[in-house]
Chain A
Amino acid sequence: EADIYQTPRYLVIGTGKKITLECSQTMGHDKMYWYQQDPGMELHLIHYSYGVNSTEKGDLSSESTVSRIRTEHFPLTLESARPSHTSQYLCASSEGGRDRGQPQHFGDGTRLSIL
């Protein structure tokens, strides 16, 4: 079982609130990712990081921001939540270095509902 943790697992919150979704991994992986997934649907990459102090936007435009101050920690923040942000957010990580086909390891996700 991969050691990557997401909190909270579920969050129901009102419009306009600031939200931070936490993601931590204990594997020392350099690469980390955030995906948005409507339940049972395809994954959309919204942010990724090569390592500390590196962050990039993914394919799906997102109003969220991320930071990578420590290797093990990759939080995602929504400054002002809206109902359109309702979704499941999955965090993942993978080994750095030369690409040898390393798979991604996923957390169990945060299911976010904005009222």
Chain B
Amino acid sequence: AQSVAQPEDQVNVAEGNPLTVKCTYSVSGNPYLFWYVQYPNRGLQFLLKYITGDNLVKGSYGFEAEFNKSQTSFHLKKPSALVSDSALYFCAVRVPGGFKTIFGAGTRLFVKA
């Protein structure tokens, strides 16, 4: 069965420190990979995606993600966290040509000043 795992319910980091939010997936083939962010009382906002090519992709608000095919992982990273980055982050995958996007359960990021 196709699935996305975000192993950490919550990640705590101090402002100015680097952050990583982990994501692994179990999907056949070469899926499209996405990260979304959700702020309180808002919908999800697209951050970045991996389609093909360079394993490090850059996205909005200084976020980047590293694709590792052998580990089937797509971890979200940022070199220096901001308090305003505190939010709920969702990893998602989609089989190319498929309709359904599979979302992870979400990871809550807390950035402490």
Contact = CB atoms under 8 A, between A and B. Distances in A.
B106 A92 contact: no
A100 B51 CA distance: 8
Q: Which of under 10, 10 to 19, 20 to 34, or 35 or more describes the interface residues of A? A: 20 to 34
Interface stretch (A12-20, A41-49, A61-69, A70-78): A41-49
Contact of B43 (A31, A42, A109): A109
A107 B43 contact: yes
Contacts of A105: 46
Contacts of A90: 43-44
Interface residues of B, number: 25
A40 B108 contact: yes
B99 A101 contact: no
Interface string B76-94: 0000000000001010001
Contact of A43 (B41, B42, B103): B103
B43 A40 contact: no
Contacts of A100: 51
Contacts, number: 57
Contact of A106 (B44, B104, B106): B44
B97 interface: yes
A108 B42 contact: yes
Interface string A14-57: 00000000000000000100000000111101001010000000
A41 B105 contact: yes
B59 to A, nearest CB: 10
Given A4-B43, A106-B43, 19 more contacts: A6-B43, A40-B88, A40-B106, A41-B106, A42-B90, A42-B105, A42-B106, A43-B44, A45-B100, A48-B99, A58-B100, A59-B100, A99-B97, A101-B96, A103-B46, A104-B46, A105-B46, A106-B45, A108-B43
Interface of A: 4, 6, 31, 40-43, 45, 48, 50, 58-59, 90, 92, 99-101, 103-109, 111
Interface of B: 32, 34, 36, 41-46, 49, 51, 88, 90, 94, 96-101, 103-106, 108
